Amino acid sequence: MKFGVIVFPGANCDHDCYHALKHVHKQDVEFIWHKESSLKQFDVIVLPGGFSYGDYLRTGAIARFSPVMNAVCDFANHSGIVLGICNGFQILCESGLLPGALMRNNNLRFVCEFVNLRVENAESNFSNQCDRGEVLNIPVAHAEGLYYADASTLSELEADGQVLFRYCDASGDITAAANPNGSLKNIAGIMNKQGNVMGMMPHPDRSYESVLRSADGAKIFDSVINLLQ
Amino acid sequence: MITAKINVTLKSGILDAQGKTVQHALHNLGIEDVAEVRMGKLILLTFGDISTEEAMRLSEEACKKMLANPVIEDYEIELIHRESH
């Protein structure tokens, strides 16, 4: 199995993802420069966090036109597994691979802290190593993480089990106080209808071993690895 | 020369957190009659020697493909004609 981590200009979590996959999860992984046009040799593509293109215009709005994104869309449309973290999630929404959009946090602050996530669907390609209702402790670091989608899109997401993670308190209750950015329905991570493309604002790439305070993020990577083994 | 003046704003009904904050600040300043503040972006596209129709067509295309996100934003295009120097 081979992972590819896309490197956009301005990405700053590409090495975190690479390190987590290569040295902690012992996977074959390679960086992919954003000018590449083929992803044929990869099984999983990771769009890492950061500030691609300086977040100019809108977060992810310019990165989605990077040459590699045509290949990513093609890869996703042929059932390839794609995981977008933070800015990667924003890019996936901008590119239309995931529904909705990520907007400025409702408190207008850059939020950088550990948050609790409730696992809403433990059968997905990205959460099969979790239990339904389990609370994961994973950090966020973003200024544009308010997940927005119109009412009909939201009810589709809910009905199809596409909401994977929601911001919650330590006991797993979904409350406004536990929502760091004003996301609708406390949504922190979703997948597409087909279940092969996932985006989440929290960073599993910053919480994959206990020395980082939490190893809960490892469950996300383990889920994908488990799927493909 | 033609310059397209493009205003991109959040769709009505979508919470504009920046606008709300600015509105509160205006109220604190004593400008209390402001009922709503909506923030947005102003984007100016200056074209070479092309027709008005072409400038409008290209501006629309730019907005649809990149300058505005149709999930959350609306846009307005105004074309301004200027003498070239």
**Hey, which residues 164-193 in chain A have their CB within 8 Å of chain B?**
182
pLDDT band at B16 (very low <50, low <70, confident <90, very high): very high
- The mean per-residue pLDDT over the stretch A65-88 comes to 97
Helix-strand-coil split of chain B, %, nearest 5 = 35, 30, 40
CATH code of the domain in which B9 resides? 3.30.1280.10
CA dihedral A45, A33, A105, B65 (to 10 degrees): -90
Q: Determine, yes or no, domain membership for B10.
A: yes
Three-state secondary-structure class, residue A11: strand
Q: Is A65 on the interface with B (CB under 8 A)?
A: yes
Three-state secondary-structure class, residue A43: coil
Q: Determine, yes or no, domain membership for B29.
A: no
- The mean per-residue pLDDT over the stretch A27-43 comes to 95
Which residues of chain B have a CB within 8 Å of the CB of A94? 69
Percent over 70 (pLDDT), chain A: 100
Put the strands of the sheet holding B73-81 in their side by side order: B40-46, B2-10, B73-81
Which residues of chain B have a CB within 8 Å of the CB of A109? none
Supply angle C-alpha A141, A107, A218, rounded to 5. 25
Q: Is A58 on the interface with B (CB under 8 A)?
A: yes
Q: Is A106 on the interface with B (CB under 8 A)?
A: yes
**Cβ atoms within 10 Å, residue B37:** 16
Q: Determine, yes or no, domain membership for B60.
A: yes
Q: Where are the domains of chain A?
A: 2-228
Helices (H), A46-96: 67-77, 87-95
From A153, which residue of chain B is nearest by alpha-carbon distance? Answer: B71
The pLDDT score that the predictor gives to residue A194 is: 98
H-run or E-run covering B53: helix B52-62
Looking at the 3D structure of chain B, how many domains does it have? 1
From A144, which residue of chain B is nearest by alpha-carbon distance? Answer: B17
pLDDT tens digit sequence for A134-161: 999 999 999 999 999 999 999 999 999 9
Task: Answer whether B18 sits within 8 Å of A107, measured CB to CB.
Answer: no
> Is residue B85 pLDDT above 60, yes or no?
no
Angle (deg, nearest 10), helices A87-95 and A67-77: 80
> Is residue A49 pLDDT above 60, yes or no?
yes
Q: Is A150 on the interface with B (CB under 8 A)?
A: yes
> Is residue B84 pLDDT above 70, yes or no?
no
User: Which candidate from A58, A61, A108 shows the least CB-CB separation from B21?
Assistant: A108
pLDDT band at B43 (very low <50, low <70, confident <90, very high): very high
Task: Check if the beta carbon of residue A46 is closer than 8 Å to that of residue A52.
Answer: no
Q: Determine, yes or no, domain membership for B22.
A: no
CA dist A26 → A96, A220, A222, A225 (Å): 32, 15, 11, 10
pLDDT tens digit sequence for A90-124: 999 999 999 999 999 999 999 999 999 999 999 99
> Is residue A193 pLDDT above 60, yes or no?
yes
Range of the domain at B8: 2-14+40-81
Name the fold adopted by A2-228. Rossmann fold (3.40.50)
What is chain A's mean pLDDT, rounded?
97
